[in-house]
C-alpha cells in the first residue's frame, strides 16, 4: 500500500509516517500544496492523507483539482477545521472521509482500511480468496485455516496482489507499493518476498507472467 | 441624582416669581409717580377753583365734611387767620407753605398745595395713603395674573422638557438592548443636535468594542485551533509508544513524545506571554534601563538552543543605550527576536544583536544569516499564528506578534529589512524623546550611523 501524506506539521507527519510504516505501507510525505499536486499528477497512490491548511496551496484546492482530472484515489482529509460547513466543503470537494485533529491512530487506520475497501468495491471487511483469508483490520493472513506469519514487506506484496485479483502487477508497481521515494530498494527484493509468500502459502498461490509481473488468479 | 426637568422647573418658577415681584415693584412705582402728578394737578386745580371764593368763606368753623375725607381744605385771610378748615379736628399746619409740600401729621404722610390769592391763602392737603392704595391695587392687577399663570407655566415647562428629553430615553432604551453579541450602532438620525454627538461617540465606542471583541473571539478560536496540532502530535506519539514493536521504536516514540510535550508547553507559554504583553503597564512600572543588559540576558536565554543548532550569537552593545520601559517585557521582546532568528538560521549561521542610541531613537537590532522574509510577507509576519510558508521550525507562530505587542506598549517601531549579508534584520526603535531627563553624554558625540563593532562591547556566546 502506498500512501501520500500531505502534512506541514513535522511532528504530526513523523508520527503518522511511523504509524503507517508499522502498517506496512510505503509513505511519501509532502509538506505543501504545490508539491502535493505535483506528486498526485506523477504517481499513483492507494490512499491520500490530506491536511487542509497547507503552505503555498490549500488542501481543498489540491483535492478539487485531483477530482477534476477524474482521479478517484481515496482521499482522507486530516484537519483541525472541525466546523460542520468545513466538513461539508471537504466532503463535497471529493474527500472520501474527514478526520478531525486530534484524532486516534486506531480510528484513522480503520478509516484508511474502510476507504480502501470501498475503493475496491468490497463490502466484507475480511477477504476470502480460495484458501487465503485476509483480515486487513487485524493485519492477519490465514491459509487453509492456519495463521501465517508474514514480514511487513511480504504482507504489503500480498495486499497489493489480493486487492486486485487477476491484475498483473509489474515488479516496479510492486516496488512502488513497498517503498516511499526516500527509501532504498533492494535489487531482488520483490522476488525475495514473492518467494517467501509462495513458501508460506502455496507455490501456486502467486503466478508469474514472465517478463511482465505477478498476479493472483481471480478464482483459484 | 440631579434631574434636568426638576432643575428647569425650579429655575423657571424662581424666575417667574422674581419677574412678578419686579413687575409689581415697577408697576407700583410707576403708578405712584403717575398718580402723584395727577393728584398734584388735582390739588392745584382745587385750590385754583376755590380762589374766587375765599372772601365768602365762613369765618367760623364749619361742621366737618363727612363726605370727602380725602381732601382737607384750609383757608387763611390776609391777616393770617384761618377762616376755613374742611375737617376740624385735624391738626393742620399753622404755618402756611406756598406751592407743593410733603407733611407729616400724626404719623401719616400728607401732600399739600398752598396758593396765594389776593384775599388770602388756600391750602389743599391730601393723605399720601390714597395714592399708595391706588398704586398697590394697580401693581396687584399686574402680579396676580402672572402668579396665577405660574402653575400652568410649570406644567408646560415640564411637558416641553419631557418631550425634549424623549430622544435621550430612546437612546437609553436602544443602549439597554445592546450586549456583547449585538454591538450594532444606535440610530442617530432624528436625534436632536444636543444628543446626536453623544450617540455618535457612543457608536464609535461600540464600533471599537466590537472590533476588540471580535479580535478576542478570533484569538481564542485561533488559539484553540493552534493547540490542536501539538495535541494531535502528543496523542499520536503516546499511541505509537504503546504499540512500539521494539525498544528502538519505543525510545524514538518517547523522544518525540517529549518533543511534543515541549512544543505544547512552548505554545501555551507564548500564549500567556502574548496575553500579558498587552497589559504590561498593569504588571510593573516602567524604569530606565540599558538595552545592552536586556540583550545580554536574552542572549543567555537563547544560548542553549543556539549551541544545539551550532549558531554563533554575538552582542554589539553601545554603552548607555538607555530606554524607558518594563524590563521583564523588554527581555521577552529581545528573547523572542533572538529565538526567532536562531530558529530560522541554518546551522553554522550567526545571529548578531546590536544596541545603539541615536538622536531620536534607541535601537535594538537583531540580524541573522537565515533565509530572510520576502518583502511581500513582511506585513503579515506580525499576525498571530502566522508562519512563513513551509515553515518547519516548530515555533508557535506568536513570537513576532508578542514582539509587536510589547513594542507597541513602549511606543517603539518595529521594522523588518534584509540583513547586509542576507537574512533578516529586525530593528526595534524606542523613542528617545519620551524621557528627556536621561542624559546621553557619550551618545551626543557619536553619530547614529556609527555602529562599528570596534566601539561596542564584544560579548560572545557560543
Q: pLDDT of chain B along its 462 residues, tens only? A: 677 778 877 888 888 888 888 988 888 888 888 888 888 888 888 888 877 766 665 554 445 554 445 778 888 777 777 777 777 666 666 666 788 888 877 777 888 888 888 778 888 888 888 888 888 888 888 888 878 888 888 888 888 888 888 888 888 888 888 877 777 787 777 778 878 888 888 888 888 888 888 878 877 877 887 788 888 889 999 999 998 888 998 998 899 898 889 888 888 888 888 877 776 554 567 788 888 888 998 888 888 888 888 888 889 888 888 888 888 888 888 988 898 888 888 888 889 999 988 888 888 999 888 887 888 777 777 777 766 544 455 566 778 888 888 888 888 888 888 888 788 899 999 887 544 444 333 333 333 343 333 333 333 333
Q: How far is A114 from chain B (nearest CA, A)?
A: 20
The 10 Å Cβ neighbour count of residue B247 is 8
Question: What is the interface size between A and B, counted as CB pairs within 8 Å?
Answer: 73
Structural contact between residues B416 and B424, judged by C-beta atoms closer than 8 angstroms: yes
Helix or strand holding residue B237 (H, E): helix B196-242
For CA atoms B441, B446, B448, B453, give the dihedral sign.
Answer: negative
Q: How far is A127 from chain B (nearest CA, A)?
A: 25
Across the range A10-28, mean pLDDT stands at: 88
Cell numbers linked to A189: 527484493
Question: CB A12 to CB B256 under 8 A?
Answer: no
For residue B451, the model assigns a pLDDT of 39
Question: CB B252 to CB A18 under 8 A?
Answer: yes
Question: CB A18 to CB B245 under 8 A?
Answer: no
3-state secondary structure of B101: strand
For residue A220, the model assigns a pLDDT of 53
Give CA–CA dist B28/A146, Å, rounded: 133
- Indicate the pairing of strand B312-317 with strand B350-357: parallel
Residues of A in contact with B228 (CB under 8 A): 80, 101-102
Q: How far is A52 from chain B (nearest CA, A)?
A: 13
Tell which A residues from 69 to 108 touch B, by Cβ distance under 8 Å: 80-81, 101-106
Q: Where are the alpha helices (DSSP H) in B309-355?
A: 327-344
| pLDDT, tens digit, 9 for 90 and up, residues A185-203 | 777 788 888 888 888 888 8
Q: How far is B169 from chain A (nearest CA, A)?
A: 42
Across the range A148-161, mean pLDDT stands at: 86
Interface check B390 vs A, CB under 8 A? yes
Give CA–CA dist A134/B11, Å, rounded: 100
Q: Which of B235, B392, B394 is opposite residue A102, by nearest beta carbon?
A: B235
Give CA–CA dist B279/B256, Å, rounded: 35
Give CA–CA dist B381/B416, Å, rounded: 10
- Among A6, A18, A57, A149, the residue to mutate for chain B (most B Cβ within 10 A): A18
Give CA–CA dist B315/B186, Å, rounded: 55
Give CA–CA dist A94/B444, Å, rounded: 67
For residue B445, the model assigns a pLDDT of 36
Question: CB A55 to CB B391 under 8 A?
Answer: yes
For residue B152, the model assigns a pLDDT of 86
Helix or strand holding residue A138 (H, E): none
Q: How far is B300 from chain A (nearest CA, A)?
A: 27
Residues of B in contact with A102 (CB under 8 A): 228, 231-232, 234-236
First to last CA, chain A: 23
Residues of B in contact with A34 (CB under 8 A): none
Task: Please name the residue that has the C-alpha cell 395714592.
Answer: B131
Question: CB B237 to CB A11 under 8 A?
Answer: yes
Residues of B in contact with A14 (CB under 8 A): 256
Structural contact between residues B121 and B115, judged by C-beta atoms closer than 8 angstroms: yes
Tell which B residues from 197 to 226 touch A, by Cβ distance under 8 Å: 225
Structural contact between residues B400 and B419, judged by C-beta atoms closer than 8 angstroms: no
Give CA–CA dist A65/B455, Å, rounded: 59
- Among A19, A23, A105, the residue to mutate for chain B (most B Cβ within 10 A): A105
Structural contact between residues B458 and B298, judged by C-beta atoms closer than 8 angstroms: no
Give CA–CA dist B32/B29, Å, rounded: 5
- Among B250, B376, B377, B390, the residue to mutate for chain A (most A Cβ within 10 A): B390
Task: Please name the residue that has the C-alpha cell 508547553.
Answer: B265
DSSP assignments along B263-321, one per residue: HHHHHHHHHHHHHHHTTHHHHS--EEEEHHHHHHHHHHHHHHHHHHTT-EEEEEE-TT-
3-state secondary structure of A14: helix
Q: Name residue B416's beta-bridge partners.
A: B426
Q: How far is A59 from chain B (nearest CA, A)?
A: 14
Across the range A57-80, mean pLDDT stands at: 92
Cell numbers linked to B427: 530593528
Question: CB B390 to CB A56 under 8 A?
Answer: yes
Judge residue A189's burial from the number of C-beta atoms within 10 Å of its C-beta, 0-12 exposed, 13-18 middle, 19 or more buried.
middle
Q: Name residue A82's beta-bridge partners.
A: none
- Among B222, B236, B265, the residue to mutate for chain A (most A Cβ within 10 A): B236
B326: left (phi over 0), alpha (psi -120 to 50) or beta: beta
Give CA–CA dist B118/B52, Å, rounded: 9
Q: How far is B425 from chain A (nearest CA, A)?
A: 24
Q: What's the farthest any 2 CA atoms get from each other in chain A?
A: 53
Interface check B178 vs A, CB under 8 A? no
Question: CB B233 to CB A106 under 8 A?
Answer: no
Across the range A82-109, mean pLDDT stands at: 91
Reported in sequence order, the residue ranges of B128-278 that DSSP labels E, i.e. its strands, are: none
Give CA–CA dist B336/B301, Å, rounded: 10
How many residues does the structure list for chain B?
462
Give CA–CA dist B200/B206, Å, rounded: 10
Q: How far is A58 from chain B (nearest CA, A)?
A: 12
Structural contact between residues A16 and A8, judged by C-beta atoms closer than 8 angstroms: no
Task: Please name the residue that has the C-alpha cell 455618535.
Answer: B200
Across the range A93-108, mean pLDDT stands at: 92
How many whole angstroms from its chain centre is CA A103? Answer: 19
Cell numbers linked to A20: 503507517
Question: CB A101 to CB B243 under 8 A?
Answer: no
Q: Which of B229, B239, B391 is opposite residue A101, by nearest beta carbon?
A: B229
Structural contact between residues B115 and B122, judged by C-beta atoms closer than 8 angstroms: yes
Structural contact between residues A3 and A45, judged by C-beta atoms closer than 8 angstroms: yes
Question: CB B389 to CB A55 under 8 A?
Answer: yes
Q: How far is A196 from chain B (nearest CA, A)?
A: 22
How many whole angstroms from its chain centre is CA A39? Answer: 15
Structural contact between residues A79 and A100, judged by C-beta atoms closer than 8 angstroms: yes
Q: How far is A211 from chain B (nearest CA, A)?
A: 37
Structural contact between residues B286 and B326, judged by C-beta atoms closer than 8 angstroms: yes
- Among A6, A9, A110, A138, the residue to mutate for chain B (most B Cβ within 10 A): A9
The 10 Å Cβ neighbour count of residue B447 is 9
| pLDDT, tens digit, 9 for 90 and up, residues B389-412 | 444 555 667 788 888 888 888 888
For residue A112, the model assigns a pLDDT of 93
Q: Which is nearest to A102 in space by CA: A86, A80, A123?
A: A80
- Among B225, B230, B233, B241, the residue to mutate for chain A (most A Cβ within 10 A): B233
Residues 6+ apart with CB under 8 A from A40: A4, A48, A62, A66, A71, A73
Across the range A14-26, mean pLDDT stands at: 88
Cell numbers linked to A138: 487485524
Question: CB B231 to CB A55 under 8 A?
Answer: no
For residue B376, the model assigns a pLDDT of 78
3-state secondary structure of B244: coil
ipTM of the complex: 0.74
- Indicate the pairing of strand A140-143 with strand A132-135: antiparallel
Interface check A202 vs B, CB under 8 A? no
Interface check A110 vs B, CB under 8 A? no
Question: CB A11 to CB B231 under 8 A?
Answer: no
Amino acid at each position: 500500500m502506498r500512501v501520500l501524506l500531505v502534512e506541514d506539521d513535522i511532528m504530526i507527519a513523523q508520527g503518522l509516517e511511523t504509524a503507517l510504516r508499522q502498517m506496512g505501507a510505503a509513505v511519501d510525505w509532502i509538506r505543501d500544496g504545490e508539491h502535493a499536486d505535483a506528486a498526485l499528477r506523477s504517481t499513483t497512490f492507494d490512499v491520500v492523507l490530506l491536511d487542509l491548511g497547507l503552505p503555498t496551496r490549500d488542501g481543498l484546492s489540491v483535492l478539487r483539482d485531483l477530482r477534476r482530472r477524474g482521479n478517484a484515489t481515496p482521499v482522507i482529509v486530516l484537519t483541525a477545521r472541525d466546523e460542520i460547513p468545513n466538513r461539508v466543503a471537504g466532503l463535497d470537494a471529493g474527500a472520501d472521509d474527514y478526520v478531525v485533529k486530534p484524532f486516534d491512530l486506531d480510528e484513522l487506520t480503520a478509516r484508511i482500511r474502510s476507504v480502501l475497501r470501498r475503493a475496491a468495491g468490497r463490502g466484507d471487511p475480511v477477504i476470502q480468496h480460495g484458501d487465503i483469508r485476509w483480515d486487513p483490520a487485524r493485519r492477519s493472513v490465514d491459509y487453509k485455516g492456519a495463521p501465517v506469519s508474514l514480514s511487513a514487506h511480504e504482507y504489503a506484496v500480498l495486499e497489493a496482489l489480493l486487492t486486485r485479483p487477476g491484475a498483473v502487477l509489474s515488479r516496479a508497481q510492486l516496488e512502488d507499493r513497498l517503498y516511499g521515494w526516500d527509501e532504498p530498494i533492494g535489487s531482488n527484493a520483490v522476488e525475495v518476498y514473492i518467494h517467501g509468500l509462495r513458501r508460506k502459502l502455496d507455490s501456486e498461490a502467486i503466478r508469474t507472467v514472465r517478463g511482465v509481473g505477478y498476479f493472483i488468479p481471480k478464482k483459484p | 441624582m440631579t434631574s434636568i426637568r426638576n432643575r428647569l422647573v425650579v429655575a423657571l418658577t424662581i424666575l417667574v416669581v422674581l419677574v412678578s415681584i419686579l413687575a409689581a415693584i415697577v408697576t407700583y412705582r410707576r403708578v405712584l409717580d403717575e398718580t402723584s402728578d395727577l393728584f398734584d394737578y388735582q390739588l392745584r386745580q382745587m385750590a385754583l377753583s376755590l380762589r374766587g371764593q375765599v372772601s365768602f368763606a365762613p369765618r367760623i368753623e364749619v361742621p366737618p365734611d363727612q363726605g370727602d375725607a380725602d381732601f382737607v381744605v384750609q383757608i387763611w385771610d390776609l391777616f393770617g387767620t384761618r377762616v376755613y378748615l374742611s375737617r376740624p379736628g385735624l391738626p393742620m399746619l399753622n404755618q402756611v407753605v406756598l406751592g407743593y409740600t410733603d407733611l407729616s401729621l400724626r404719623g401719616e404722610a400728607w401732600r399739600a398745595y398752598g396758593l396765594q390769592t389776593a384775599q388770602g391763602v388756600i391750602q389743599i392737603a391730601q393723605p399720601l395713603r390714597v395714592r399708595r392704595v391706588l398704586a398697590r391695587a394697580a401693581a396687584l392687577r399686574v402680579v396676580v395674573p402672572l402668579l396665577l399663570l405660574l402653575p400652568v407655566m410649570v406644567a408646560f415647562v415640564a411637558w416641553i422638557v419631557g418631550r425634549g428629553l424623549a430622544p435621550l430615553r430612546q437612546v437609553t432604551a436602544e443602549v439597554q438592548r445592546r450586549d456583547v453579541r449585538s454591538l450594532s450602532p444606535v440610530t442617530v438620525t432624528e436625534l436632536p443636535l444636543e444628543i446626536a454627538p453623544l450617540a455618535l461617540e457612543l457608536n464609535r465606542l461600540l464600533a471599537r468594542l466590537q472590533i476588540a471583541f471580535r479580535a478576542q473571539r478570533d484569538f481564542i478560536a485561533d488559539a484553540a485551533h493552534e493547540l490542536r496540532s501539538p495535541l494531535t502530535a502528543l496523542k499520536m506519539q503516546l499511541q505509537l509508544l504503546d504499540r512500539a514493536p521494539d525498544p528502538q521504536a519505543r525510545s524514538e516514540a518517547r523522544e518525540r513524545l517529549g518533543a511534543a510535550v515541549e512544543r505544547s508547553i512552548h505554545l501555551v507559554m507564548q500564549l500567556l506571554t502574548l496575553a500579558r504583553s498587552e497589559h504590561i503597564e498593569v504588571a510593573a512600572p516602567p524604569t530606565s534601563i540599558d538595552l545592552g543588559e536586556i540583550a545580554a540576558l536574552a542572549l543567555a536565554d537563547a544560548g542553549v538552543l543556539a549551541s544545539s543548532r551550532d549558531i554563533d550569537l554575538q552582542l554589539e552593545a553601545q554603552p548607555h543605550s538607555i530606554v524607558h520601559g518594563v524590563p521583564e517585557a523588554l527581555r521577552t521582546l529581545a528573547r523572542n527576536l533572538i529565538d526567532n532568528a536562531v530558529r530560522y538560521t541554518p546551522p553554522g549561521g550567526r545571529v548578531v544583536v546590536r544596541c545603539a542610541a541615536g538622536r531620536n531613537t534607541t535601537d535594538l537590532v537583531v540580524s541573522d544569516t537565515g533565509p530572510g522574509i520576502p518583502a511581500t510577507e513582511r506585513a503579515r509576519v506580525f499576525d498571530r499564528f502566522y508562519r512563513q510558508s513551509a515553515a518547519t521550525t516548530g515555533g508557535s507562530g506568536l513570537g513576532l506578534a508578542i514582539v509587536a505587542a510589547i513594542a507597541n506598549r513602549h511606543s517603539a517601531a518595529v521594522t523588518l529589512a534584509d540583513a547586509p549579508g542576507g537574512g533578516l534584520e529586525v530593528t526595534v526603535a524606542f523613542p528617545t524623546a519620551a524621557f528627556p531627563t536621561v542624559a546621553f553624554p557619550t551618545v551626543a558625540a557619536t553619530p547614529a550611523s556609527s555602529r562599528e563593532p570596534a566601539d561596542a562591547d564584544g560579548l560572545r556566546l557560543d
